[in-house]
Structure 1
């Protein structure tokens, strides 16, 4: 059997890694990567080697990588560009050679419509495939009292709104001092592009000072960057407090682990997550947590199982890679004619 050679190209492949690994495990595909050093910087000699090798090219992010491949793709090849949201605020998509792009893949319905609104991509060139969540890897037993443990994954930059997560903790801790806030990810000092901006640094310094001077300061636990599966075993309430997101994996990862999701209403959140988990304010969010923790254990279990099932059905490795397999298989059939 002739394998389809699929190339993934881009500066940041972490969101595509699960898709790549799953396709590589199938006997019908051979996978390679062209990892760029920035939005528009790469080893052109290597990119040309990869270009000459590939049957199908997937540009992860629609930045300089998608410009280069859309301008250099060969007639017999198929090119897909997977776009998140960051690209909306760049000029790169205006330089795409759309004639050489077979599909532009948006990761949520909101992102799909945003890219149509801003760039007016032809709708026949567009499709939507959600981000993927490794639900099996995240499904671990919870520690005792996890239902009192809030969790937030990623607090940089400022738009992630750590302050709102802290607001929630403060109000909940005043009701019951068993509540804690676990913070997963790098600190702002570890990102020069964040810490060197006066406004960003002032924002974090104010929050850290607030925590240090609070009676609940020991209830905020900062933990470093790394695998979230073990970390989520102690988190019973997963937070999404951002001003805006393209998809935001954190709520779905938390739901897959058996955590109750609390999502502040960023644009497009209701096109990805059920409305019963989306709230318009800190006060509503706090009330939802208190209401959840007023339930009997069996009732709580029913709630989190329902959330877990939602993620398994829509974002699991099996569900999403089936969509990718269909897309690439269809293009592979076209390559044979």
Structure 2
């Protein structure tokens, strides 16, 4: 039967439904689904019943409709009947996100994975990332439907994750065989071998340069020539396909899988600048284990060593599950607990072909000189970069509340950029809770914007707070201590199972509750000058102990030696 042309309303409705939230529909479908969408549901079902099929858009809409109605069997059936030219578009991130809430048992999920494999979508890294996120939530149910983002960054999900890996097996060992096959399929090629490579020219790839200027200076001071490639240029080179990882369907091989050679040829054609920079480099250094590192791990020429520096949050995402570790020659962690989190997710075996090392961030502490405090400053708490649920500024408010029971003159200052508008639902809810609590304190709490002179700001507070759920190295705590602010260090709840913060800040006192923090602050206040100078001395020793500005260039040279592959070493 000849398919009818889709009318615009049906196409637009299908796209609308693909972006809908199954959780919202559960909460009250009649109220939250627009009248036009309800009409679309009826239209799609009528067309299916009368077999007057409007090409594959009908099946796309139907699959999402059935998912919204929590009918996994029918939604999967509709997906299985899609024509090949629509499959990859239909099984996109948006549709995957909606369908995830319809899979209430493993059999549904496994059937969905089989469809991904059948349609070739499993080869697309961005789709695989979505599937891994979906599975993590599916297995680690905690009563809140998945609404996008990185599930392991949610403390409740992460606590369940900890429980699954406490027996020693990595998280991937609990994945269904279909997902383990996806991971294995992405581990191709091998780390650089053969003769040592002359590493003089370093190409740095990233789209977040916050921590790299001092690293670049260290490399240049050691004799490296450093150039930069913003990964956004590679995204723009593939505008009509998988923008996240740059996979072009026009360059897929006859076998259906994009070859690394085909992708590199396409990049040379679409972005000569990016291609020439990669060709110029002796070694490629990816700052953050995110999209750029994943892309390079699959498509960089095998003769070029690849180094990735992992900061913190990446270890809590699905990026490590789609990276090709067999092609990553060197992996730098900025803190020991982050390495433990990564191996808990992917396993030690994933890093057998990789040189690894823990090298802290390089710091410029020249402006953070010590000063003695005035009386009012001594009773002022301070917290930087407060605007995220991970930083947990509500915990800081709880500390202040405890202190004001003893003395109402205690104050708290927040400084930094405010919350963004594009945040997850859980982040938005935390922000609302924070603002509600904030209103209880009047002018004893100030919320200040970003400042270019953070060193002076630290000198205006008496105590610097680290109240986070998780941290890598928490640079602001060190900076505040250098100026003489006394540290208040929480036992970061998400990092405690991995030995932090004690592994990052040995010998610093730690607290678990707001009451403990208040008691510690009151005790330290009785000996403020002594404790303040001790904090500054500790910080000076801390920042001069590891010499990361020396270790990082050494590590780059070590990675260029193939005899070091597979070692966890202090580069020498």
Q: Report the TM-score when normalising by structure 2.
A: 0.52
List runs of 5+ in structure 2 lacking aligned partners. 1-197, 236-242, 247-265, 563-572
Q: How far, CA to CA, are the matches of 2:200 and 2:408 in structure 1?
A: 57
Retained in 2: the 8 A contact 1:116–1:123?
no
The 3-state SS of whatever aligns with 2:366 is helix
1:28 corresponds in structure 2 to: 223
Retained in 1: the 8 A contact 2:485–2:532?
no
Taking a change above 3 Å as real, the CA distance of residues 113 and 222 of structure 1, as seen in their structure-2 partners, is same
- Bigger mean CA deviation after superposition, 32-41 or 222-231: 32-41
Q: How far, CA to CA, are the matches of 2:217 and 2:479 in structure 1?
A: 18
1:330 corresponds in structure 2 to: 558
Q: How far, CA to CA, are the matches of 1:241 and 1:163 in structure 2?
A: 9
Retained in 2: the 8 A contact 1:256–1:311?
no
1:93-112 matched pairs, under 5 angstroms = 93-112=320-339
Retained in 2: the 8 A contact 1:239–1:263?
yes
How big is the shift at 1:333? 7.0
1:107-122 matched pairs, under 5 angstroms = 107-120=334-347, 121-122=350-351
2:451 corresponds in structure 1 to: 226
1:266-285 matched pairs, under 5 angstroms = 266=492, 267=495, 268-285=500-517
Q: How far, CA to CA, are the matches of 1:137 and 1:10 in structure 2?
A: 27
The 3-state SS of whatever aligns with 1:193 is coil
Retained in 1: the 8 A contact 2:410–2:444?
yes
Provide, for residues 57-79 of structure 1, a one-character-per-residue CA deviation record: whole Å limited to 9, x for no partner: 21111122112222233344321
Residue 305 of structure 1, aligned match among 498, 517, 536: 536
Quick check: which one's strand share is greater? 1
Q: How far, CA to CA, are the matches of 1:313 and 1:27 in structure 2?
A: 18
Q: Does 1:241 align with 2:467?
A: yes
Q: Does 1:4 align with 2:231?
A: no
The 3-state SS of whatever aligns with 1:135 is coil
Q: How far, CA to CA, are the matches of 1:82 and 1:313 in structure 2?
A: 21
Provide, for residues 103-152 of structure 1, a one-character-per-residue CA deviation record: whole Å limited to 9, x for no partner: 11111111111112211232562221122332223225355233222111
The 3-state SS of whatever aligns with 1:136 is coil
The 3-state SS of whatever aligns with 2:422 is helix
1:47 corresponds in structure 2 to: 274
CA root-mean-square deviation: 2.8
Matched residues, number: 323
Q: How far, CA to CA, are the matches of 2:543 and 2:433 in structure 1?
A: 39
Provide, for residues 224-278 of structure 1, a one-character-per-residue CA deviation record: whole Å limited to 9, x for no partner: 1233222112122111111222332221222233221111111121210124331
The 3-state SS of whatever aligns with 1:234 is coil
Residue 477 of structure 2, aligned match among 251, 258, 264: 251
Taking a change above 3 Å as real, the CA distance of residues 94 and 208 of structure 1, as seen in their structure-2 partners, is closer
How big is the shift at 1:85? 3.0
The 3-state SS of whatever aligns with 1:58 is strand
Q: Does 1:170 align with 2:397?
A: no
Taking a change above 3 Å as real, the CA distance of residues 200 and 263 of structure 1, as seen in their structure-2 partners, is same
Q: Larger radius of gyration, structure 1 or 2? A: 2
The 3-state SS of whatever aligns with 1:137 is coil
Provide, for residues 173-193 of structure 1, a one-character-per-residue CA deviation record: whole Å limited to 9, x for no partner: 3323442211111222xx022
Q: How far, CA to CA, are the matches of 1:136 and 1:130 in structure 2?
A: 17
Structure with larger RCO (C-alpha < 8 A, sep 6+): 1
How big is the shift at 1:169? 1.5
How big is the shift at 1:293? 0.8
Q: How far, CA to CA, are the matches of 2:222 and 2:369 in structure 1?
A: 28
Taking a change above 3 Å as real, the CA distance of residues 119 and 5 of structure 1, as seen in their structure-2 partners, is same
Q: How far, CA to CA, are the matches of 2:344 and 2:528 in structure 1?
A: 46
How big is the shift at 1:296? 5.6
Q: How far, CA to CA, are the matches of 1:168 and 1:74 in structure 2?
A: 53
Q: How far, CA to CA, are the matches of 2:532 and 2:318 in structure 1?
A: 47
Taking a change above 3 Å as real, the CA distance of residues 307 and 163 of structure 1, as seen in their structure-2 partners, is same
Q: Does 1:128 align with 2:358?
A: yes
